[in-house]
């Protein structure tokens, strides 16, 4: 483990964005699966092949409100010559004990109710007189108001083929089928299917718990009074929101002063609820950059394999970065730079993919697109650095907003894309094609 600055073994080695990202993504492992209640598993990745334990529908049932009858009893029925059948009772949805439908008989049946024994088909209520004897009706009267509807006689005005308006047992899924395979992300329709086959809980990777803390003695909570030399803490708010947006359960610790002991004990305190820790600030070459200083003594020092490494990346913004694992549980920690734009861009590039890797998602990166640069003048970019500028993207064009300064929060709040200028490009002219990261 290195401690950065002039103590590092390779002080001048620049890591590429891709090397750093690879280090993060090969270190971070998907969280162990747990069994969660269905609605708690929303947005999570399934970690089992879910088999269908019972066929859906579990029994033949009616797809209409109508009458369950025998085919022969209604063949040839017409408005002029209706079939008159004896109504032997109701079959409501959920009915367990079913009446038998014999020749010349009909059972009034509701949508979803089991096809009763003896019945071969269903005629919709609109093809009947509903038992009222006054021609076709548009529906049934409520059972509670007209209990006599379950008795008497019904006239049927149209024939029905065998099993018309009947949803066959197993026509949706069959027992033993694969309902959902491991790796499926559980959205509302997948939750519908799991509930429908009777699964109240499922085995998924949980949402990672991400602890966000900012560092800096200059930081003050919003709504408090600023004194000379102070600014408001925005990073801990922005990154907590961004972590949630990525799918995490995020805890904002807030700002910690530039004191290595306080920072160390805060991090040790928070470790218990962290699957991932994110800090901002204190990672550069200054004498008060305490994140570096603190992170060589966090957690259980007797356990090998831990340690956070501080490095310089060939990118702008976001040159200074720390990454490693801390404590007995080897919790991954990303130490981001403190400038607001630097920390946000670093989050998008490294922390968001780490969170999504912890979730077990396959697709951990933001979508990208090719876009034509719509700008009044050329963009310049430092040689050897991958630059990420803020822009707005629409219809294949991207327009830069604000400058390259890593303190320009107002412009960031207008942007919906990052414009990527590769390491070997020093200037991008209006009309040139560039890659953009869509911030969605």
Q: Which of residues 160-179 bind a copy of itself (CB under 8 A)?
A: 167, 171-173, 177, 179
245 in contact with a copy of itself (CB under 8 A): yes
Contact window for a copy of itself (CB under 8 A) among 55-63, 151-159, 271-279, 367-375: 55-63
- For a copy of itself, the closer of residues 30 and 251 by Cβ is 251
198 in contact with a copy of itself (CB under 8 A): yes
237 in contact with a copy of itself (CB under 8 A): yes
Which of positions 289-308 make contact with a copy of itself (CB under 8 A)?
289-290, 292-293
273 in contact with a copy of itself (CB under 8 A): no
- According to DSSP, the residues that pair with 252 across neighbouring strands are 212
205 in contact with a copy of itself (CB under 8 A): no
**Distance from C-alpha of 282 to C-alpha of 339, rounded to nearest angstrom:** 10
Contact window for a copy of itself (CB under 8 A) among 69-77, 133-141, 301-309, 358-366: 133-141
- Contact pick of 1, 272, 285, 369 for a copy of itself (by CB under 8 A): 285
- For a copy of itself, the closer of residues 11 and 152 by Cβ is 11
CB atoms within 10 A of CB 108: 25
Contact characters 390-419, a copy of itself, x per CB under 8 A: ---------------xxxxxxxxx-x----
Please check whether residue 276 is in contact with residue 357, taking contact to mean a CB–CB distance below 8 angstroms: no
**Distance from C-alpha of 65 to C-alpha of 307, rounded to nearest angstrom:** 68
Strand runs (DSSP E) across 25-140, as ranges? Answer: 34-37, 45-46, 50-51, 61-62, 66-69, 83-91, 105-109, 121-124
Report the nearest approach of a copy of itself to the CB of residue 417 (Å). Answer: 11
- Contact pick of 21, 77, 154, 193 for a copy of itself (by CB under 8 A): 193
Please check whether residue 398 is in contact with residue 438, taking contact to mean a CB–CB distance below 8 angstroms: no
- Long-range own/partner contacts, residues 296-302 (CB < 8 A, 24 or more apart): 296/1, 296/3, 297/264, 298/264, 298/267, 298/268, 298/271, 298/326, 298/327, 299/268, 299/271, 299/326, 299/327, 299/328, 299/331, 300/327, 300/328
Report the nearest approach of a copy of itself to the CB of residue 113 (Å). Answer: 7
């Amino acid at each position: 483990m290195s401690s950065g600055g002039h103590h590092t073994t390779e002080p001048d080695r620049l890591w590429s964005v891709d090397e750093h990202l690879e280090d993060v993504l090969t270190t971070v492992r998907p969280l162990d699966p747990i069994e969660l209640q269905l609605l708690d598993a929303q947005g999570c990745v399934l970690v089992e092949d879910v088999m269908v334990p019972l066929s859906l529908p579990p029994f033949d049932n009616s797809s209409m409100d109508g009458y369950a009858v025998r085919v022969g009893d209604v063949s040839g029925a017409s408005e002029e010559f209706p079939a008159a059948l004896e109504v032997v009772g109701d079959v409501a949805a959920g009915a367990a004990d079913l009446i038998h439908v014999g020749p010349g008989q009909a059972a009034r049946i509701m949508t979803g109710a089991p096809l009763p024994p003896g019945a071969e088909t269903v005629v919709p209520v609109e093809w009947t007189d509903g038992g009222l004897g006054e021609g076709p009706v548009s529906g049934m009267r409520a059972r509670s108001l007209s209990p006599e509807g379950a008795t008497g006689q019904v006239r049927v005005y149209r024939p029905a083929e065998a099993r018309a308006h009947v949803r066959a047992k197993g026509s949706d899924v069959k027992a033993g089928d694969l309902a959902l395979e491991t790796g499926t992300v559980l959205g509302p329709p997948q939750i519908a299917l799991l509930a429908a086959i009777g699964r109240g809980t499922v085995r998924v990777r949980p949402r990672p718990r991400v602890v966000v803390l900012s560092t800096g003695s200059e930081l003050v909570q919003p709504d408090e009074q600023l004194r000379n030399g102070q600014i408001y803490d925005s990073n801990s708010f922005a990154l907590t929101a961004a972590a949630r947006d990525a799918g995490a359960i995020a805890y904002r610790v807030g700002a910690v002063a530039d004191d290595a002991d306080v920072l160390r004990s805060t991090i040790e305190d928070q470790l218990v609820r962290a699957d991932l820790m994110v800090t901002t600030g204190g990672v550069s070459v200054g004498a008060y950059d305490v994140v570096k200083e603190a992170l060589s003594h966090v957690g259980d020092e007797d356990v090998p394999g831990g340690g956070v490494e501080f490095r310089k990346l060939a990118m702008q913004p976001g040159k200074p970065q720390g990454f490693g694992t801390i404590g007995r549980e080897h919790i991954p920690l990303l130490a981001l730079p403190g400038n607001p734009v630097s920390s946000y861009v670093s989050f998008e590039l490294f922390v968001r993919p780490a969170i999504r890797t912890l979730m077990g998602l396959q697709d951990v990166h933001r979508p990208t697109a090719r876009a034509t640069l719509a700008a009044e003048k050329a963009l310049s970019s430092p040689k050897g650095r991958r630059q990420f500028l803020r822009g707005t993207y629409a219809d294949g064009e991207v327009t830069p907003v604000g400058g390259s300064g890593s303190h320009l929060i107002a412009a960031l709040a207008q942007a919906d894309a990052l414009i990527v200028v590769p390491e070997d490009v020093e200037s991008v002219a209006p009309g040139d094609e560039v890659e953009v990261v869509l911030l969605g």
